[in-house]
């Protein structure tokens, strides 16, 4: 719908806002902390944004722009509206992940006015490359949240797919690039999960 009193820029912004409502229907492999149901991408992104605010002090790099981190985590999974969620342990599906998500980024961020669309696409690409301090910290949070969920749901996703300790550590070692403190916490968490029978030993 294009209202008579709506300018073209606002029209594009509203269309984008309407489009991203679809991210609420993209469900992930991990479950909520209370194990009541699967988490969707919108909930995941919101949780990461709050984690960025709460855990900001644990970034490896002083002066990390947390506002930028929050922007990254809020938009990083919008591409999954088209590309779908790629399970971190699905090696076959991961082969096409980059191509699927790049195509999705072009379409979804292309809905926005040029300047804002370029900003969002650049933030998404920065997150994916994991080269800046903000992207590294954002990625650390992105990997930590599912580990926390599995620790609270008796290893639901790990058990369902037969994931072992080495696989978890291998898939999530990039946490260390963004936060040594959170990586040390993750290592302790994994050990505790093995001891409690939530995660298969190597």
Mean pLDDT, residues 141-160:
98
- pLDDT attached to residue 122: 98
Q: Residue 143 in contact with residue 175, Cβ under 8 Å?
A: yes
Domain boundaries, the chain: 8-195
- pLDDT attached to residue 5: 72
Q: Average pLDDT over the chain, rounded to whole?
A: 96
* Cβ contacts of 39 within 8 Å, gap of 6 or more: 27, 28, 30, 31, 32, 149
- Over residues 17-41, the pLDDT tens digits come to 999 999 999 999 999 999 999 999 9
**Residues facing residue 31 across a β-bridge:** 38
Measured CA to CA, the distance from residue 137 to residue 131 in angstroms comes to 10
Q: Which CATH superfamily is domain 8-195 in?
A: Hypothetical protein af1432 (1.10.3210.10)
pTM of the model: 0.95
């Amino acid at each position: 719908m294009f209202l008579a009193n709506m300018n073209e820029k606002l029209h594009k912004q509203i269309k984008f806002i309407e489009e991203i409502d679809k991210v609420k229907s993209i469900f992930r492999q991990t479950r909520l902390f209370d194990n009541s149901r699967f988490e969707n991408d919108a909930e995941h992104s919101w949780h990461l944004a709050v984690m960025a605010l709460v855990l900001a002090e644990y970034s490896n790099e002083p002066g990390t722009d947390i506002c930028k981190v929050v922007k990254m985590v809020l938009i990083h999974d919008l591409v999954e509206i088209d590309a779908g969620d790629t399970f971190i342990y699905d090696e076959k599906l991961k082969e096409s992940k980059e191509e699927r998500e790049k195509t999705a980024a072009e379409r979804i961020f292309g809905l926005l006015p040029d300047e804002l669309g370029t900003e969002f696409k650049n933030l998404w690409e920065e997150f994916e490359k994991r080269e800046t301090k903000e992207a590294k910290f954002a990625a650390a949070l992105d990997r930590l949240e599912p580990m926390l969920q599995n620790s609270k749901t008796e290893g639901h996703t790990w058990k369902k797919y037969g994931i072992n300790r080495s696989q978890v550590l291998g898939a999530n070692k990039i946490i260390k690039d963004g936060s040594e403190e959170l990586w040390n916490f993750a290592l302790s968490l994994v050990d505790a999960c093995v001891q409690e029978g939530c995660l298969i030993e190597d």
